[in-house]
Structure 1
């Protein structure tokens, strides 16, 4: 058994000190080849300073040996000593067989420093030297991917598919790149080739399938994601929506409730649970979950308006007024709230309050034809003919083909 074999065996038996001592005791009388092997041993086991000492000693004896420089570069990068690494890489001449590898490593370093143009220049130069080298294509793919230039990233990732890069999930990168350019079918093809259990990857996989109208895949993937990570809250929302789209409303509702158990402060889950409860005819639960959503965010407009519609169905005008007042008191501002207040006050025959809120809403909704038409009729009922004509005239500027209103306004003017 060689010195290295014995040292590796000791390390595997967790006898670290004995392994290091074994190497150290043979270092002084070792050949240069053996010392190189010892340096690799130290690097493999994370003893970077010990490896650096040996490699620097060897580099003094063999100043043109690029393999030594590349190994030292790895050590310097690991120690975040980028400038030393760059100097070493730049010392490798263009006629050296390791020159291409040096260019790629330099590009990676410059990219990590945010010097993207310099990194691109290094890789394009490498591409000119070796146009068909897939490692360079992969490096270019990584660069453009990091910059969000997904179309260009796709071009180079596709060219690098034939190589194995254990540290870079090329299929996953291609999937996400196609996803970002809206090519959902192509993205789905590449997601299907990945074996990743990473929650973010699974979420994007499910989202891609959903966008590609493959709810069956989306549902399976998101269920797998929740099994892998029950606290991935967004997955419950998306899974419930996928079930809903498949008209599996009960399963959608149960999924939303499971999500609430995992995240009781998620307003979207409460809104979704309320909406789904409404679809399965659970009136009390519908109001309960919608109110929870509004309690978490008083200006959650979608939930507020949904809750208003529920209360309207039950003719609970006073509850609508109370709800909107609370929303407005807590900072919720939207002209639709004033419009709904005006309607509610009109229903309970509190006409002055209704008028005030119609006028308040008018400041923002003066170009909303549905509002103008309703406001105009309200003013007529209140005997404010001149104001009604003004509102209807504004309405007709946007919709001059409404013959019913044209005739109505003409009659009002004649009156």
Structure 2
């Protein structure tokens, strides 16, 4: 049709109004076949309202014409008029040669409305009509994948493996389905067949390799991810821990340090970086990084206790006291803090303060045998023999086989 060819050229030159006027000028004299072509032209260029009007006009003349209904359905779906699209599709009889296509389209629409059981029924019916059609297997795989029913998804995805289906990454779907059912080695086989550089995909690929205890793959994949997207913060922590598990401490430390530069509010990254710095003998840097973690979360127990041990190694008990008092003042509440505070006061020879902290810890740790034993010896050193005996007796209830403490208590009682 010369009119459409001319209109096409005008559209390509961005002369939209002239193209529309050209078609409108021939609308009244057009045959039904020409009107159909005009509507297709409108659809092609995104003029859905104009296309809809022509197809509705034609449908009045040809109420049984399935092709018109299917094209109208596409328009309604684009316009998010799902209910209208469903009604139109349901008007197509089962004996129609396009009924298989109708069932798949209906399943998509019902799935979009979260009517998953209805969508499944439509697809299973389509499967009965044509058991060998890969598009139906794919649709069932996609449905079950979206529902998290990965075992069923695998069954149907594998049936589509030998068919080239554009725009659907079957290898990726199978990789992630196998990973989700714990078949990590099988998942890796499919991950390796994909050439996707999508950061989320690479993150999951690395995670699956980690689960399969293939740290070499996990490290390489997460390195690639950070090359593709240096702002993918979560990967820094994963990669640093993977390096550490392979005893590549320097690489782990460098990765964690790079991570804190990108994600300065990630307390765990600071903690891991500080822990790695300690392994490398960088004590000042270790303390600095751990304190950053605690600044972000004053009650970050793992970081607080790590810093306490670090300061113990350096015999910096005053720093431990300042640290724990600050943590408690900002809302940190754990009996282990009181226990460590008592130890630090004891080493600093602030025995009254140590006693108070031991007593505070006792309220929560009276069933902790290690604490009771230490507390009992401290009370003995302070000359509080009667209290010490009571604490040791509570300890012996939990550890009656400790003959050394039993003999010690007998001597205390004789005193």
TM-score, normalising length from structure 2?
A: 0.90
Q: Classify 1:23/1:168 alpha carbon distance in 2 versus 1 (closer, same or farther; 3 Å).
A: farther
Matching residue of 1:133:
133
- Rounded to whole Å, the distance in 2 between the matches of 1:244 and 1:194 is 28
Matching residue of 1:298:
298
Q: Tell me the SS of whatever aligns to 2:259.
A: helix
1:284 aligns with 2:288: no
Using the TM superposition, name which of 385-394 and 93-102 deviates more. 385-394
Matching residue of 1:381:
381
- Rounded to whole Å, the distance in 2 between the matches of 1:5 and 1:176 is 47
Matching residue of 1:268:
268
Matching residue of 1:307:
307
- Rounded to whole Å, the distance in 1 between the matches of 2:149 and 2:93 is 32
1:202 aligns with 2:169: no
Matching residue of 1:63:
63
Per-residue displacement from partner, 1:86-126 (whole Å, max 9, x unpaired)?
11121122222322322222222222222223323333333
The 5 A counterparts of 1:327-338 are 327-338=327-338
- Rounded to whole Å, the distance in 1 between the matches of 2:366 and 2:7 is 83
Q: Tell me the SS of whatever aligns to 1:46.
A: coil
Per-residue displacement from partner, 1:260-306 (whole Å, max 9, x unpaired)?
22222222222122112111111111111111111111112221111
Matching residue of 1:98:
98
- Rounded to whole Å, the distance in 2 between the matches of 1:392 and 1:104 is 75
Q: Tell me the SS of whatever aligns to 1:86.
A: helix
Q: Tell me the SS of whatever aligns to 1:114.
A: coil
The 5 A counterparts of 1:1-400 are 3-400=3-400
- Rounded to whole Å, the distance in 2 between the matches of 1:51 and 1:382 is 94
- Report the Cα offset of residue 374 of structure 1: 2.3
Cα RMSD between the aligned structures? 2.5
- Report the Cα offset of residue 82 of structure 1: 1.3
- Rounded to whole Å, the distance in 2 between the matches of 1:383 and 1:124 is 83
Using the TM superposition, name which of 219-228 and 21-30 deviates more. 21-30
Per-residue displacement from partner, 1:198-229 (whole Å, max 9, x unpaired)?
21111111222222232332222222222222
Q: Classify 1:7/1:235 alpha carbon distance in 2 versus 1 (closer, same or farther; 3 Å).
A: farther
Using the TM superposition, name which of 136-145 and 124-133 deviates more. 124-133
Q: Classify 1:109/1:271 alpha carbon distance in 2 versus 1 (closer, same or farther; 3 Å).
A: same
Q: What are structure 1's unaligned runs of at least 5 residues?
A: none
- Rounded to whole Å, the distance in 1 between the matches of 2:347 and 2:414 is 30
Q: What are structure 2's unaligned runs of at least 5 residues?
A: none
Q: Tell me the SS of whatever aligns to 2:46.
A: coil
- Rounded to whole Å, the distance in 2 between the matches of 1:400 and 1:69 is 85
- Rounded to whole Å, the distance in 2 between the matches of 1:19 and 1:401 is 97
